């Protein structure tokens, strides 16, 4: 691990407007992730964790403050430019797998590479097969999401996030929907792949066990992020 910041934000705020009401969800968040680092964010429901990940990934825009992804300042970019930056450098894993139901595991995993269009269809398939093997799902590659278990679907989602070799994965309660044993297996898989590929991980989780297995744990309280351990 080196100390190059791949993702950072300073004094980040987010205010949602609902009619005349203002909901202040992030209240001056400072956060840095260095290359290869694994970080967990814990905190009560509604404290602002998902909102922070959405902003860091350029899926939504802040009300004030700055975000840099690989040194590039998000606030200077339009939606399309943010999309390109996200596709180049970041991967997402959500609580629900968000796989495309009509496509096989292999096709779902190959999709981000095909969207990038920097490799051939054949190369994308080859790479997708390799990553599916890494998450232990080679034998299920031709199954559609409905033909997979919940844990298997989430492994496919992990493979899809990793297939582009992102510098950082943003995972929002990736095992929130799974039993404890399956959740452990998915985390093990994510942590191993993060180590072998040097991918940084930002994991929002309620799981106290994962918090013991990462370098740093932050806590979000009413839009304020502090170092927990």
CB of 213 to ligand ATP, least distance (A): 20
Binding characters for ligand ATP, 5-44, by CB under 6 A (x = yes): -----------x-x----x-x-----------------x-
2 binds ligand ATP (CB under 6 A): no
51 binds Mg ion (CB under 5 A): no
Tokens of 158: 């992990």
Which C-beta is closer to Mg ion: that of 51 or that of 125? 51
Q: Which of 6, 34, 39, 48 binds ligand ATP (CB under 6 A)?
A: 48
226 binds ligand ATP (CB under 6 A): no
Q: Which of 34, 47, 50, 134 binds Mg ion (CB under 5 A)?
A: 50
CB of 214 to ligand ATP, least distance (A): 18
Cα-Cα-Cα-Cα dihedral sign, residues 137, 138, 141, 143: negative
Of residues 33, 5, 55, 4, the one with CA closest to residue 223:
55
What whole-number distance in Å separates Cα of residue 161 and Cα of residue 70?
Answer: 18
Of residues 138, 227, 158, the one with CA closest to residue 199:
158
The residue count for binding Mg ion (CB under 5 A) is 1
45 binds ligand ATP (CB under 6 A): yes
What is the CA angle 226-41-6, rounded to 5?
Answer: 90
46 binds ligand ATP (CB under 6 A): yes
DSSP E strands in 5-95: the ranges are 5-18, 21-34, 38-43, 64-69, 72-73, 90-93
HSE of 121, CA atoms in CB hemisphere, 13 A: 1
154 binds ligand ATP (CB under 6 A): no
Tokens of 36: 């290869």
Q: Which of 6, 37, 51, 211 binds ligand ATP (CB under 6 A)?
A: 51
Residues 11-42: b if buried by 16+ CB within 10 A, e if exposed: ebbbeeeeeeeeeebbbebebebbbbbbbbbb
CB of 172 to Mg ion, least distance (A): 6
Residue 38: contacted member of ligand ATP, Mg ion, none (CB under 5 to 8 Å, by partner type): none
Which C-beta is closer to ligand ATP: that of 43 or that of 112? 43
Phi/psi class of residue 2: alpha, beta or left (left: φ > 0; alpha: ψ in -120 to 50)?
beta
Binding residues vs ligand ATP (CB under 6 A): 16, 18, 23, 25, 43, 45-51
Q: Which residues bind Mg ion (CB under 5 A)?
A: 50
């Amino acid at each position: 691990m080196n100390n190059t910041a791949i993702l950072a934000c300073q004094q980040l705020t987010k205010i949602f407007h609902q009619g005349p009401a203002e909901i202040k969800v992030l209240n001056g968040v400072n956060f840095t992730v260095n290359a290869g680092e694994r970080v967990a964010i814990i905190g009560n429901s509604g404290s602002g964790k998902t909102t922070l990940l959405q902003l860091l990934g350029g899926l939504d825009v802040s009300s004030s403050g700055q975000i840099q992804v690989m040194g590039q300042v998000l606030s200077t970019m339009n939606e399309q430019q943010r999309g390109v930056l996200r596709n180049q450098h970041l991967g997402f894993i959500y609580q629900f797998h968000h796989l495309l139901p009509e496509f096989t595991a292999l096709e779902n995993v190959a999709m981000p590479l095909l969207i990038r269009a920097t490799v051939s269809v054949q190369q994308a398939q080859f790479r997708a097969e390799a990553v599916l093997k890494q998450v232990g799902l080679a034998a299920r590659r031709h199954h559609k999401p409905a033909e997979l278990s919940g844990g298997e679907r989430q492994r496919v989602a992990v493979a899809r996030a990793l297939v582009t070799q992102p510098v950082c994965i943003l995972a929002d309660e990736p095992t929130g929907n799974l039993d404890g044993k399956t959740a452990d297996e998915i985390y093990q898989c994510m942590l191993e792949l993060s180590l072998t590929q040097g991918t940084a991980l930002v994991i929002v989780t309620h799981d106290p066990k994962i918090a013991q297995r990462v370098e740093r744990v932050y806590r979000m309280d009413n839009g304020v992020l502090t170092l927990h351990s």
